Amino acid sequence: MNIIPDRPVATGPNPIAQQLAAIVGERNVITNGLDMAGYLAEPRELFHGRAICVVRPGTTEEVAAVLKFCHETGTRVVPQGGNTGLVGGQIPGQGEGEEILLSLKRLDKVREIDISSNTMIVEAGVTLLRTQEEAAQVGMLFPLSLASEGSCTIGGNLATNAGGTAVLAYGNARDLVNGLEVVLADGRILSNLSKLKKDNTGYDLKHLFMGSEGTLGIITAAVVKLFPRPRASATAFCGMSTPEQALALLNIAKSKAGDEVKTFELIARFGIQIVVEHGQNTRDPLSGPHEWYVLMELGSMNETGVEETMMSILETAFEEGVIEDAAVAASLDQRADFWRLRELLSELQKHEGGSIKHDISVPVAKVPEFLAAATAALAEKFPGSRPVPFGHLGDGNIHYNVSQPVGADKQAFLDSWDDMNTVVHDIASSFHGSISAEHGVGTLKRDLLPSVKDPVMLDVMRAIKHTLDPTNILNPGKVL
């Protein structure tokens, strides 16, 4: 993994920028290097890019006009939502600045909420948090939930098929959509803002664009699904010795609560230590340390009974020797304290020095075996490295992050990124898993795809890309 250092960004007038200003207005075309800088680097500072300018359209029609112009002139386009992606998919290349960055943040309208259809039409620049809040105002739930929900946008969530903490109960981002509005590479608008649950009139094209990371078309609006809000919930933090016991707890929970199991998050002891040591207003959730922890949440449409169900799950788990200790949130504040331990982990890991990230998934039943194999392999090949595995055990997605050895040189550790990826990804593949569960491919994992993807699948992906974007102007160099 090559860490790209800060580089000066091209500035000054440009004929392309001037013509784009005629479409979206001068104030919505940014060419000053300092003003563009925030768009041209991603949160982990792994990728920095160059661009002709940043273009900020305010309507779907403006997006269409921009893409029509870019198609006709051969100008390459990198779409960006909230710039929270972790694989570099939203950042231009580091070449001569021959691309424009298309920011979709100004497409920020909630066009419609239809309670009877359980749908809401939102534009691509609406933040995930606002989408959740708009649903809550009409007594409904939009269940997609991510740590970056205050700044990530619906367009970016769908373009990367975001996952999050509620996949166990509600599915990935693509499962939460009925219809899309997409601008194609040549500027045509593919409008299918359908609320229908049943429509068997040919190919379901929306699934092409969700997860394509802006390489096939630019999502400008979506019909998202709304759900009834649970009327009662119960949240528990549990301690145990092994991932096998965590998996046993999941099976007990599903047998007793079924679809009421909304969240099931696994965290290693080192992760809790990091948050307690470096976070503000955080504390160890249980009376003593445990090797592994589970944050479990139930949600029910019944106003009573969910707490009793949680207690039944925990009692059975104690009786069967599955858990060693547990605490059930007695208030909303305590629930928030539990969640803070999970949500702060990625951010606070930086206090332990360099961190090499993995976003893998394996079949749920194989998670304990993966963790054992990966930890043993790293101990042998990267002595002193400190794994910080955590994530969504309920759907088999583990963020197998690894902190540098104590006292090690940070850059020397990060230089081993590719070698460590090979070890972890090979183990995930041996369990028929994926090297990218919810973060996408972008630039970070693009060159890894040929080694893990079926060649026929890659051929079909390239054929679709060529059909929809024959001149390769949409997010070039990403995914493929």
pLDDT tens-digit map of 433-473? 999 999 999 999 999 999 999 999 999 999 999 999 999 99
Distance CA 271, CA 287 (A): 17
Best CATH choice for the domain 232-346 from the list 3.10.20.520, 3.30.70.2190, 3.40.50.800, 3.40.50.300: 3.30.70.2190
Distance CA 337, CA 328 (A): 12
pLDDT mean over 16-30: 97
pLDDT mean over 215-229: 98
On average, the pLDDT of the chain sits at: 95
Task: Indicate if the pLDDT at residue 4 is higher than 80.
Answer: no
Look up residue 429 and give its two tokens: 């593949």
Best CATH choice for the domain 353-439 from the list 3.30.70.2740, 2.60.40.1180, 3.20.20.450, 3.90.180.10: 3.30.70.2740
Show Cβ contacts of residue 192 under 8 Å, excluding neighbours closer than 6 positions.
179, 180, 181, 182, 205, 206
Band of pLDDT at residue 43, cut at 50, 70 and 90: confident
Band of pLDDT at residue 240, cut at 50, 70 and 90: very high
**Parts of the chain belonging to CATH 3.30.70.2190:** 232-346
Distance CA 240, CA 233 (A): 23
Best CATH choice for the domain 110-228 from the list 3.40.50.620, 3.30.465.10, 3.30.200.20, 1.10.1740.110: 3.30.465.10
Distance CA 115, CA 125 (A): 22
Cβ atoms 282, 276 nearer than 8 A: yes
- Name the residue among 91, 101, 98, 102 with its Cα closest to residue 4: 91
The predicted pLDDT at position 46 comes to: 84
The predicted pLDDT at position 8 comes to: 37
- Please tell me what DSSP assigns to residue 260: G
The predicted pLDDT at position 12 comes to: 53
Task: Indicate if the pLDDT at residue 10 is higher than 70.
Answer: no
**Predicted confidence (pLDDT) per residue in 360-394, tens digit:** 999 999 999 999 999 999 999 999 999 999 999 99
Give one DSSP letter per residue of 268-293, joined into a string: EHHHHHHHHHHSTT---SSSS--SEE
Alpha-carbon Rg for the chain in angstroms: 23
**Parts of the chain belonging to CATH 3.30.70.2740:** 353-439
Cβ atoms 220, 123 nearer than 8 A: yes
The predicted pLDDT at position 17 comes to: 96
Distance CA 167, CA 437 (A): 11
Task: Indicate if the pLDDT at residue 3 is higher than 50.
Answer: no
